[in-house]
Amino acid sequence: MDEIAESYSLQTVEQLRAVADPLRIRIYEALAQRAMTATQVGEELHIAAPKAHYHVRELERIGLVRLVETRERGGILEKYYRAIARTLNAPSQLLQSSEPGEIAAAITEMFSNLSQSFLTALGHINAEGAESFEGYAIGLGGDTVWMTPEEFRQALKAVDTIFAPFRMRRGVADEREAQVTIIGFDTQLATPDEPAHEPVHEPGNEPAGDHESTEATPPPKADPQPRRRSIILVGAAIYSRNDLARSVAKGEQLDLDIAGYLSFKDDVTPELVDQAIARLRYRGVLRASPEVLEALKRKET
């Protein structure tokens, strides 16, 4: 009953959407450690028994959990379930063969669930009147890095190695369950393709007389396009004039996707917003001066 595969590749978008729910991930990981009844899962994770039964049955229905044993105890038939593998992965074939809308819906659902869970945790910390996150298992961050594809893959493997010893309960004092999500991508792949433009002949630039020019006219030198820097953030983000000016000085435009609290200080101007921000998506609270709010509306998608 303890023998399960090391890894399982998700086969359907339905399976992908199922594991987009943090609670189902917790249930799956608990059943990857040992076989349990749905009632035991509820006790282990401190969730109501009916909710545990529902999610275990759903995971069984889509093939991620299987019934491995039944026992009769006191006239009651106990059903023991086990995860089909210790880890799950979404193969590129699944992502490439599925309808783009289905994948987008699954990924959106995953981030929506994660965002809500993070904001709930943040709310509990605020309710306790904590002045900092010190002592809490909570963190938020992001960065832009320059790496080759192979360096990027090796970095992800290194991060996976760091967390590997902590995927099983060790029974140490003050041990708590924590959710870790890592997302990374090539920003060039995330930048929408620019439409091709036909060359424009301005009046006065036509060749003189009836003679065709035999010399190639060099195209006018175009201003370099700002490099987009994608920022996906769950929590709070506050931007000042200096923050945005630094991005402009680096030749960057920010592509913001914020869930939570987003604020622009009073020293930020609409002109600076136009220069520094390429696109804005947010869910939550947005604070800025009326003029800046108007400029930000033009950036929303």
State whether 162 and 32 are in the same domain: no
* DSSP code per residue over 198-263: -----TT-SPSTTPPP-SPPPPPPPPPPPEEEEEEEEEEEEE-HHHHHHHHHTTEEEEEEEEEEEE
Dihedrals phi, psi of 265, to nearest 5 degrees: -65, 165
State whether 94 and 145 are in the same domain: no
Residue bearing tokens 């001066």: 289
State whether 151 and 92 are in the same domain: no
Q: Give 235's pLDDT tier (boundaries 50, 70, 90).
A: low
179 domain residue, yes or no: no
Residue 112: the pLDDT is 62
276 domain residue, yes or no: yes
- Length, in residues, of the chain: 301
State whether 147 and 275 are in the same domain: yes
Residue 165's alpha-carbon distances to 159, 161, 169, in angstroms, are: 12, 8, 9
- Total domain count, the chain: 2
135 domain residue, yes or no: no
pLDDT tens digits, 69-118:
999 888 889 999 999 998 887 776 666 655 556 656 666 666 666 666 77
Task: Name the range with the highest mean pLDDT among 146-150, 234-238, 258-262, 283-287.
Answer: 146-150
Residue 245: the pLDDT is 92
* Range of weakest confidence among 93-97, 98-102, 139-143, 274-278: 98-102
Per cent of the chain over pLDDT 90 is: 26
Residue 133: the pLDDT is 61
Give mean pLDDT, residues 4-27.
84
State whether 39 and 156 are in the same domain: no
State whether 33 and 87 are in the same domain: yes
Residue 187: the pLDDT is 66
111 domain residue, yes or no: no
Residue 273: the pLDDT is 94
| CATH classification at residue 74 | 1.10.10.10
Residue 214: the pLDDT is 44
Residue 268: the pLDDT is 94
> How buried is 82 (Cβ within 10 angstroms: 0-12 exposed, 13-18 middle, 19+ buried)?
buried
Residue 261's alpha-carbon distances to 63, 65, 114, 122, 212, in angstroms, are: 38, 38, 16, 12, 61
83 domain residue, yes or no: yes
State whether 148 and 284 are in the same domain: yes
Bigger pLDDT: 284 vs 267: 267
Per cent of the chain over pLDDT 70 is: 71
Alpha helices in the chain, H assignment, sequence order: 13-18, 22-33, 38-45, 49-61, 92-97, 100-127, 149-163, 187-190, 241-249, 270-276, 290-297
- The yes-or-no verdict on residue 178 having pLDDT over 90 is no
Residue 131: the pLDDT is 60
234 domain residue, yes or no: yes
State whether 144 and 95 are in the same domain: no
pLDDT tens digits, 181-219:
777 767 666 655 544 444 444 444 444 444 444 444 555
Handedness of CA 117, 179, 10, 64 (dihedral sign): negative
pLDDT tens digits, 40-75:
999 988 899 999 999 999 999 999 999 999 998 888
State whether 156 and 277 are in the same domain: yes
20 domain residue, yes or no: yes
Residue 123: the pLDDT is 73
Q: Give the domain range for residue 34.
A: 5-99
CA separation for the pair 77, 80 (Å, rounded): 10
Give mean pLDDT, residues 230-250.
83
State whether 14 and 95 are in the same domain: yes
Predicted TM-score (pTM) of the model is: 0.45
State whether 35 and 159 are in the same domain: no
Residue 116: the pLDDT is 67
Q: Residue type for 282, please?
A: Y
77 domain residue, yes or no: yes
